[in-house]
Amino acid sequence: MPRKKPQASRTQAASKPTAKKKAAKKKVSKKKTSRKTAAAACRRQGGLFDPEPAASPARRKKKTANKTAKKSPRKSVSTGQVDVAIAEKMAKKQKDISVSEFFAKNRHLLGFDSPARALLTTVREAVDNSLDACEEASVLPELIIDVRATGSTQHVVTIRDNGPGIVREQLPRIFARLLYGSKFHARKQTRGQQGIGISAAGMYGTLTTGKPMRVVSRISRRKPAIELVLAIDMAKNQPVVKKESEVEVEWAHGTEVQIELEGTYKKGKHSIDSFLDQVSLANPHVKIVYSNPIDEEPIIWERVSKVLPDPPNEILPHPHGVELGILMQMMKETNSRTVSGFLCTEFCRVTPNVVKKVSDETEGLGKRIDPDRHPKRLSTADVRILHKGIEATRMMAPPTNCLSPIGEDLMAKTLRRNFDPELVITVTRQPSVYRGNPFQVEAGIAWGGELPGDDLASIFRFANRVPLQYEQGACAITQSIVGTPWKNYEIQQARGALPTGPLAVLVHIASVWVPFTSESKKAVASYDEILKEMRLAIMEAGRKLATHLRKKRRLADAERKKDYIKTYIPQIGIALQDILTLSDTQRTKAEGNLSDVLERSRKM
């Protein structure tokens, strides 16, 4: 979204001067804390949670330090003594950058680049987590979302789910530590992927309002709910529990997150309202109750299905999707004692027979890799050959039962509920594979009804049931919709543009690993295999739409012709009566005959 870019840089530019000014003050406090014990530090750091990103001076200095350090040997010829002192002094400043610090500085990467987006991103991340948790625990999800204004640009966002809840020990780490989670390492279709989202939202809230996030979780009716007030120690990427208490709640299990943050609420395409509407489209089993600062009544999306989607299975990676670096890492960490055993246990679709074929392939690539060698004793060059050998070997596609599509029927139901269209068409393709990752594409078209007829079609993009709201133009889904020959399907389309008409087009891609163009999950990358499947799905739906539209037009034509007959036959009667001086009876008779003849021919 190019519109967002300038805003992002402005926010950064604005934050820089403050960072510089406070750098000196920060240094002092840091030295102090380093001497204290860990526990004490934790408590203190919590208090230090203010908008100044402490990381910045350290990071900038590190760069310069490196430069000078490299130059120093040359200088040492003339002034040896001073050099050592400088290098040592600099070495003190050279240290790790915490992930939290990095993201605090680069918040735009996570979708916190403008106040309006920050609010939306917070809701998005919480919703993703809640739904994944509910589904994993086989609970029909019910989300209660409340956005309330506490100032003109400040809002409290509260999101509660009826999921399994989170045990006390894990709560701080899940909500107040970046890159912590269960999903990153699993090759499984989930909404969240990296485990950055919700903790980043909490961090953003604390950065902008100074208020820590509040989490309430209850795991069973038999146990009380626990409330934690959490912050992140950005330097260490560690959670800080500021307050802990048992609270009374009326719900049996679930988790509630409350974050106060700087953000502006607005309606429109990139609004929370629109996001939740789309969530309800791709998640027929979810009930959402949503209150916002503008509407008086909460908006409710009732579920259209009481059946949970089939739980996605976790699968081993497919050899064709693995990168060289990852392969090396895996070989270092494996417990297998032969290359053959390693490949067969760590990957799917690999059998000793396949390993033999890979080994044969490596022979042609310069060096035969013996499958019986110990994986940890392969040189880098050998692994490289092995990797190429794997690429060159034909093997079975990965299993596709790990995917959980929405399904044609349920997709049709949600489209009907949300758009009340005249016609709904849904298509779920068979699973396919890109780079060793199984994926499945679905397309849905809602046509007519209240949808505006003169506008471009509305597009709804989903990846693993998560709506994509930004960077529409850069997305493979948009590309495939634009590339579809809509004119063949009785729909107008300007060259290189989206189709025009009373049309809503939904495309969903489900995969164990959806390739996004950036970390904040805005657009699907255009792999040929993915584009092809999307195009085929849309075209199949388009053909069905065309059938309907043609039939509709034929009926309208017939109706119009019927009118035609009624309108013009009397004129023929008048003319004949006029020329042939017929009696009125004769005229009526002629008109009747003529209608009969034409009606008969019309039906034929």
Of 567, 583, 584, 585, the residue at the interface with other proteins (CB under 8 A) is 567
Kindly state whether residue 571 participates in binding other proteins, applying the rule CB under 8 A. Answer: yes
Kindly state whether residue 578 participates in binding other proteins, applying the rule CB under 8 A. Answer: yes
Q: Which is nearer to other proteins, 370 or 559 (CB)?
A: 559
Give me the least distance between CB of 487 and other proteins, in Å please.
25
Q: Which is nearer to other proteins, 82 or 597 (CB)?
A: 597
Kindly state whether residue 593 participates in binding other proteins, applying the rule CB under 8 A. Answer: yes
* Cα distances (angstroms) measured from residue 196 to each of 48, 176, 563: 22, 10, 64
Q: Which is nearer to other proteins, 82 or 572 (CB)?
A: 572
Kindly state whether residue 588 participates in binding other proteins, applying the rule CB under 8 A. Answer: no
Sequence-distant (6+) residues with CB within 8 A of 245 are 226, 227
Kindly state whether residue 379 participates in binding other proteins, applying the rule CB under 8 A. Answer: no
- Candidates 209-217, 316-324, 375-383, 587-595 — which segment interacts with other proteins by CB under 8 A? 587-595
Residue 545: Cβ within 10 Å count: 23
Cβ proximity of 516 and 523 under 8 Å: yes
Q: What gap in Å lies between CA 561 and CA 567, rounded to an integer? A: 10
Give me the least distance between CB of 584 and other proteins, in Å please.
14
Establish how many alpha carbons lie within 13 A of residue 405's alpha carbon, considering only the half-sphere containing its beta carbon.
25
* Cα distances (angstroms) measured from residue 333 to each of 342, 375, 419: 10, 9, 52
Kindly state whether residue 582 participates in binding other proteins, applying the rule CB under 8 A. Answer: yes
For residues 466 to 485, the per-residue mask of contacts with other proteins, x marking binding by CB under 8 A and - elsewhere, is --------------------
Q: What gap in Å lies between CA 98 and CA 600, rounded to an integer? A: 83
Provide the pairing of β-strand 254-262 with 154-161: antiparallel
DSSP structural state of residue 111:
T
Kindly state whether residue 18 participates in binding other proteins, applying the rule CB under 8 A. Answer: no
Kindly state whether residue 597 participates in binding other proteins, applying the rule CB under 8 A. Answer: yes
Kindly state whether residue 553 participates in binding other proteins, applying the rule CB under 8 A. Answer: no
DSSP structural state of residue 377:
G
Give me the least distance between CB of 554 and other proteins, in Å please.
13
User: What backbone phi and psi angles, to 5 degrees, belong to 226?
Assistant: -110, 135
Of 568, 583, 584, 585, the residue at the interface with other proteins (CB under 8 A) is 568
Give me the least distance between CB of 568 and other proteins, in Å please.
4
- Candidates 72-80, 211-219, 302-310, 590-598 — which segment interacts with other proteins by CB under 8 A? 590-598
- Candidates 213-221, 289-297, 525-533, 563-571 — which segment interacts with other proteins by CB under 8 A? 563-571
Kindly state whether residue 604 participates in binding other proteins, applying the rule CB under 8 A. Answer: no
- Secondary-structure breakdown of the chain: helix, strand, coil percentages, each rounded to the nearest 5: 50, 15, 35
Which tokens is 309 given?
A: 């989607």
Sequence-distant (6+) residues with CB within 8 A of 293 are 147, 148, 149, 155, 265
Kindly state whether residue 556 participates in binding other proteins, applying the rule CB under 8 A. Answer: no
Kindly state whether residue 565 participates in binding other proteins, applying the rule CB under 8 A. Answer: yes
- Candidates 326-334, 467-475, 503-511, 557-565 — which segment interacts with other proteins by CB under 8 A? 557-565
* Strand ranges inside 57-153, DSSP E: 142-151
Of 317, 506, 576, 585, the residue at the interface with other proteins (CB under 8 A) is 576
- Candidates 218-226, 319-327, 339-347, 573-581 — which segment interacts with other proteins by CB under 8 A? 573-581
- Candidates 457-465, 495-503, 514-522, 568-576 — which segment interacts with other proteins by CB under 8 A? 568-576
- Among residues 87, 21, 14, 32, the alpha carbon closest in space to that of 54 is found at 21
Q: Which is nearer to other proteins, 43 or 589 (CB)?
A: 589
Q: Which is nearer to other proteins, 91 or 572 (CB)?
A: 572
Which tokens is 399 given?
A: 């299993």
Q: Is 14 left (phi over 0), alpha (psi -120 to 50) or beta?
A: alpha
Sequence-distant (6+) residues with CB within 8 A of 571 are none
Give me the least distance between CB of 117 and other proteins, in Å please.
55
Q: Which is nearer to other proteins, 34 or 601 (CB)?
A: 601
Give me the least distance between CB of 561 and other proteins, in Å please.
4
Sequence-distant (6+) residues with CB within 8 A of 539 are 484, 485
Q: What gap in Å lies between CA 367 and CA 382, rounded to an integer? A: 8
Q: What gap in Å lies between CA 105 and CA 111, rounded to an integer? A: 12
Kindly state whether residue 82 participates in binding other proteins, applying the rule CB under 8 A. Answer: no
Amino acid making up residue 255: T
Kindly state whether residue 602 participates in binding other proteins, applying the rule CB under 8 A. Answer: yes
Kindly state whether residue 244 participates in binding other proteins, applying the rule CB under 8 A. Answer: no
Q: What gap in Å lies between CA 177 and CA 203, rounded to an integer? A: 9
Q: Which is nearer to other proteins, 495 or 603 (CB)?
A: 603
Interface with other proteins (CB under 8 A), residue total 24
The SS3 of residue 423 is: strand
Give me the least distance between CB of 563 and other proteins, in Å please.
10
Kindly state whether residue 594 participates in binding other proteins, applying the rule CB under 8 A. Answer: yes
Reported residue count of the chain is: 604
Chain centroid to CA 577: 74
Listed in sequence order, the DSSP H helices in 36-114 are 38-47, 55-76, 80-93, 99-105
Establish how many alpha carbons lie within 13 A of residue 278's alpha carbon, considering only the half-sphere containing its beta carbon.
28
Q: What gap in Å lies between CA 579 and CA 339, rounded to an integer? A: 102
For residues 513 to 552, the per-residue mask of contacts with other proteins, x marking binding by CB under 8 A and - elsewhere, is ----------------------------------------
Kindly state whether residue 574 participates in binding other proteins, applying the rule CB under 8 A. Answer: yes
Instruction: Please provide the distance, in angstroms rounded to a whole number, between the alpha carbons at the two ends of the chain.
Output: 55
Of 83, 511, 580, 588, the residue at the interface with other proteins (CB under 8 A) is 580
Kindly state whether residue 590 participates in binding other proteins, applying the rule CB under 8 A. Answer: yes
- Candidates 14-22, 293-301, 335-343, 571-579 — which segment interacts with other proteins by CB under 8 A? 571-579
Q: Which is nearer to other proteins, 409 or 559 (CB)?
A: 559
Amino acid making up residue 453: G
Chain contacts with other proteins (rule: CB under 8 A): 561, 564-565, 567-569, 571-572, 574-576, 578-580, 582, 589-590, 593-594, 596-598, 601-602
